[in-house]
Amino acid sequence: MAQKGPYPEDLIKVYKPYFSPCPSYFEEFKNLISKVIYKDDENSFSLQYKLFYGLIASLSIGVEELAEDFEIKFKLCGGDDIWIKEGIKCENIPKHIKGFAKINDILVHKPWIIHWAHFSEFDSGLTYFLFQSAIIVTTVHRFATIISALNIVMNKDIKENKIDKTKYILNPIEYVDFNKNHSDKFLYIDDFDWKTNAKYFFSDYAEKEMDLLEKDLKFLDSLSDNVTDDNNIFSKENVIAIEKYVEIILGIKDREYNYHNINTNKFLNIYRKTLIKEVACFPEKLCEKNLNEIKLRLESDDFIRLVILVTAIKQKICLTHFAKAFDEFSSNKKKNDINSEE
C-alpha cells in the first residue's frame, strides 16, 4: 500500500520566496523536487528512504534548515526515530542505505573519484536502487545549494547548529582541486558523456526520475534561446563557457573545445570564475559569504540565476561520473563471470 507523503503544498509556501528572481524556473524545479523526492507510490523508491537521503544530502551541503525539514517529514511519514537519534551508524538502517551515504559525500565534493569498486559492496539486484539514489541525492544537493545562496541574498541569519552532522557524515570529504592529483585522468566526452552515454543508463534504471530531470534540464537549456546580449548571463556563449569551465574543474574534458574561449570570455572574469568554482566545488561554504562580497562580482538576481545554472551543470557531471563508474563495474563483472566459467 502506498504511503501518503507529507509533502506537498508546504514545500511551495516555504521555498517559493527563494526563487523570486526566477519565478518561471521555480515551477519546473518544484515539479522535479516534489515528484523525485516527495512522491511515493507502489512502484517508487521508499518515501522514508528518500526523506532520510534528503536529510544527509542537505547536511553534506551544510543547509540545516532543509535538513530539519526533511527530518520533520521523515517522522511524519512514520520514519524510525532511532535513525535520527543514532544517525548513520544505526543498526536499523539497511546496509545499502548506509553504503550509498558514502557515495553521497563523494558526489558533493569529488565526483571524479567514484570508482567501479564502490559498486562492489552492493548486493546484486540493486542497480535500480543505485541509479534512483544518485538522482535523488544530487537533486537535493542542487536544492540545498540554491537555498544556501539565497540565504545570502535575502540576508537571512545563519541558524545555530542544531543537528549533529557527524552522526550522518562519518567520513567528510573535502574538495581538492582536480588538477592537483588527477590531471592525467580526465573523463573525455568523446569516450563517455552525458548526452550519448550517461543519460541512457539513468533512463534504463531510473526512468521516472530521469524523465523529470530531463524536463528540468531542457528548461534550463532553453533559457538562452531568446538572449541576444552577449553580456547576459544566459547568452549561448556564456552558458557554453560556464559549462566547460565547471566540467574541467570537476574532471571532464572536451577535446574539441578551445578552452582559450573561457579565458577570453568577457563575462567570465577572474572574480566570476572564482564564484562559479565556489558554487560547484564547496557549496557548503557559501553561507560564510556576505551580500556585499557577492555584489562585487554580480547583481543579486544574476547571482541566483548563476547558482541555478551551475548546480544543474554539476548534477549532470556527477551523474556522468557515476554512470561511467557503473559501466566499468559492469564490464569488470562480465569479465570475471566469463573467467570463472572457464
> Is residue 175 within 8 Å of 282, Cβ to Cβ?
yes
Over the stretch 72-82, which tens digit does the pLDDT of each residue have? 889 988 889 99
**The predicted structure's pLDDT at residue 278:** 92
Taking the domains of the chain in order of start, what are their residue ranges?
Answer: 9-341
Peptide bond preceding 8: is omega within 30 degrees of 0, i.e. cis? yes
Write out the DSSP string of 239-275.
Answer: HHHHHHHHHHHTTEE-TTS-THHHHH-SS--HHHHHH
pLDDT at res. 187: 95
List Cβ neighbours of 155 (8 Å cut-off, separation of 6 or more): 291
As a whole number of angstroms, the distance between CA 194 and CA 321 comes to 9
Report the C-alpha gap between 228 and 232 in whole angstroms: 8
Q: In this predicted structure, what is the pLDDT of residue 6?
A: 43
Yes or no: say if 61 and 165 are a contact pair by the CB < 8 Å rule: no
Please identify every stretch of the chain with a pLDDT value under 70, giving residue numbers as ranges: 1-15, 17-21, 40-44, 156-161, 334-342
Residue 1's pLDDT is: 35
Cα gap 73→79, rounded to integer Å: 8
At 158 the pLDDT is 61
pLDDT at 130: 95
- How far apart CA 311 and CA 168 sit, in angstroms, is 23
Alpha helices in the chain (DSSP H): 9-15, 23-33, 47-61, 64-76, 81-86, 95-109, 127-153, 178-181, 199-205, 207-221, 236-249, 260-264, 270-281, 291-295, 300-341
Cβ contact 133:53 at 8 Å: yes
pLDDT value, residue 157: 64
pLDDT score at 5: 44
